[in-house]
Amino acid sequence: MTRIFSGIQPTGRKHLGNYIGAIRQYVEGQDRGESIYCVVDLHALTVAYDPAELRERLYDTTAILLAAGLDPGRCTLFRQSDVHEHTELSWLLGSVTAHGDLNRMHQFKEKSEQQRELVSAGLFFYPVLMAADVLAHRATDVPVGDDQRQHIELMRDIAERFNARFGDHLVVPEGRYPEVGARIMNLQDPESRMSTTYGSEQGTVFILDPPDVVAKKVRSAVTDSGSEVRRGPGKAGVTNLIEILSAVRGVVPEAVEGDFDGSGYGDFKTAVADEVVAYLTPVRERYEELRADEAALEAALAAGAEKARSTATGTLADVRGAMGVGAPR
């Protein structure tokens, strides 16, 4: 049986890269198998944050996921902190996680450099909690963006090390990465990933941007001195736009290049802008309806937590028993 798990941070405004790289995969996953999706508020505590804003962003993220097409009747959608099995399992898994492996995590190095006051132990331990999120539900598939490959490999190592030492109690998951649009880049700095935290706002298309703002950002995207709509060396900006349009259309990049053979950058960017606007508008409009009812969002998350707990409880009991923790079963 295919069981899908993925988590999404509630921090920051969600952008086109999040949508193409992760959220769209979540929606499609509902047709591939049993799907479990988690808004990972505990992960958000590992860097400086505002508590009131965290709660607002959590509701924002939940509403975006529902607006994009997640159906609580077809998947499990819950808030990480509501299922305490995740945190206990992360501590237990820490005993089979190598300090050196955590020290090599690229994201820890990047984020720790940006923390001026405190580099928290939670930030260092972040990948173990991420592993617990997935392993608690014995997921087989983990749809994530391309930037999470190292974390997925560590997760697999943790599961294999645990099974070798304590018996086969954990499922070793596989990462699932989007073939197209795995790395959407900033429109003003196409050498850098599109990000809420880093990079220019003008180069970041947010899911909730009004249509005229989306169109202006795309039409203002940095390209190069040429005119051919082709991927290649020195054409990072055009390559990024081709990747975006191929993802929006659901076609290979070569098909986009063929459609715009002989076109100039102006016509191409206008077409990309129009199609990205059409792509995001239904989600934005549905979001506005859903976000207004926070009680309904809370009810959806609570119901999801009950479902999530039913799968995580058994895994935690097996792990505790195998490790000799607590009263014998």
pLDDT classification of 280: cutoffs 50, 70, 90: very high
Q: What's residue 224's pLDDT?
A: 87
Q: What's residue 11's pLDDT?
A: 83
The H or E element spanning position 11 is none
The beta-strand segments (E) located in the chain are 3-8, 34-39, 76-79, 141-143, 174-176
The structural domains of the chain, with segments of one domain joined by +, span 3-181+293-323, 211-288
Burial of 203 (0-12, 13-18, 19+ CB in 10 A): buried
Task: Give the tens place of pLDDT for each residue, 63-97.
Answer: 999 999 999 999 999 999 999 999 999 999 999 99
The alpha carbon torsion through 67, 72, 73, 76 (nearest 10 deg) reads: 140
Residues linked to residue 141 through DSSP beta bridges, in sequence order? 4, 174
Say what percent of the chain tops pLDDT 70: 98
Q: Is pLDDT of 237 > 70?
A: yes
Q: What's residue 180's pLDDT?
A: 59
Overall average pLDDT of the 293-303 stretch:
97
C-beta of residue 14 within 8 angstroms of C-beta of residue 206: yes
**Which range, of 35-39, 98-102, 314-318, averages the lowest pLDDT?**
98-102
Task: Give the tens place of pLDDT for each residue, 135-191.
Answer: 999 999 998 877 788 999 999 999 999 999 999 999 999 998 866 556 799 999 998
Which range of 8-12, 65-69, 150-154, 234-238 scores highest in mean pLDDT? It is: 65-69
Out of 1.10.357.10, 1.10.3720.10, 3.30.1600.10, 1.10.240.10, the CATH code matching 211-288 is: 1.10.240.10
Q: What's residue 121's pLDDT?
A: 85
Architecture of the CATH domain 3-181+293-323 = 3-Layer(aba) Sandwich (3.40)
Q: Whole-model pTM?
A: 0.90
